[in-house]
Structure formats: C-alpha cells, structure tokens
Amino acid sequence: MRGGTLVIKGNAGDWLGAHMIGGRITVLGSAGNFVGSGYRGEKQGMAGGTILIKGNAGRAVGARMKGGFIAVGGDCEEALGYGMLNGTIVVAGYAGIRVGSNMKKGTIILLEAAKLSPVFYYNCIYWPTFWRLLYTDLKSRGFPLSASCEIAAFKRYRGDANEGGDGEILICQ
C-alpha cells in the first residue's frame, strides 16, 4: 500500500500492512500476527503509513518495521517490535514477552506495565512533548486510552544493547 485509506469493519488476518509504504489502515476489530512486519526472509517490513487497530493484535507486530506508525488499542502477543529498524508503536493494553527484542531504532510506547528483557536498560523518567498531541489524536479516533495517561511521566528504557542500544521503550507511569 502506497497511499489512500482502508477501513476494516471487523477483524483482519495475518500480515496486515506488510511492506506498507504510505496511507492509513484502520481496523475496527482485532488483527492477526505480523502486522506491519516484513514477510519471511525479507530484511524489512513496513516503511511508512499508519495502522490503527482498535482491538487486540497477535505476535510480532512491527517486526523489522522500518518506519511509520502502529497503534493497538488492546493487547499484543509476544515479540512486539522484534528487530525494529525505526518507526513508532503504541500499545494501550498488555504487551507479551520479548518486547523490542533485536530492536535497532524506533520507539515503542506501552501504556501498561511490562517486564523487559535485560538487554534494555533504564535511562530516565521522561515527559515526551509529543505525547499529549498523540494522546489527543488517538482518543479522538476512539482508542480506549486511560485518562491517567494523558499527562503522565514515562520510564524510558534504551536498547536492545546487543544491537547498539538506539531503540527506546517508554512505559507509562
């Protein structure tokens, strides 16, 4: 997908937005595995555009993602942002194990507490200037965001240390 808008009034399957370059996909239900990821054997996945999922998502959301934005209103299964090269992912619900494994760059924002791998190290308490704008935009699109996260501090973690440590994970406090 290079442009345009796609609205799915229900659930979506695996590989939604794989290799997407531009445009917007909105899923009013849940999505399967590998959202915005690269197909098996490919070095990168989604390079641009926006994917909004109001429900839950499966495994490896944003795996090898090179750019763009993904927001999940519910929970995600394991390996969120695996091998992420750049871009931004927001998850309002629970994120499974191995968040950001092999991540090189990019930002993962978690609104629920998560246990991170030891390859991510605590950096600081952070009040990102962009967060209130992003929160307002997602809330206006019907995402189930807690009011307590609107003006919140985030714990900032850097990593994956094995991959250079240039990625960041922000966890709402």
When pLDDT is averaged across residues 20-32 and rounded to a whole number, the result is 97
pLDDT at 144: 83
Please determine, for residue 148, whether its predicted confidence score (pLDDT) is greater than 90: no
**What tens digit of pLDDT does each residue of 36-68 get?**
999 988 999 999 999 999 999 999 999 999 999
Full-model pTM: 0.96
Report which secondary-structure segment, H or E, holds 136: helix 131-140
pLDDT at 147: 84
Please determine, for residue 77, whether its predicted confidence score (pLDDT) is greater than 90: yes
**What tens digit of pLDDT does each residue of 114-142 get?**
999 999 999 999 999 999 999 999 999 98
Please give the Cα distance from 84 to 164 (Å, whole number).
Answer: 12
Please give the Cα distance from 153 to 156 (Å, whole number).
Answer: 9
Please determine, for residue 165, whether its predicted confidence score (pLDDT) is greater than 90: no
Among residues 163, 9, 148, 134, the alpha carbon closest in space to that of 70 is found at 134
When pLDDT is averaged across residues 99-116 and rounded to a whole number, the result is 95
pLDDT at 151: 87
In sign, the C-alpha dihedral spanning 36, 44, 165, 128 is negative
pLDDT at 146: 85
Helix and strand numbers, DSSP H then E, in the chain: 1, 9
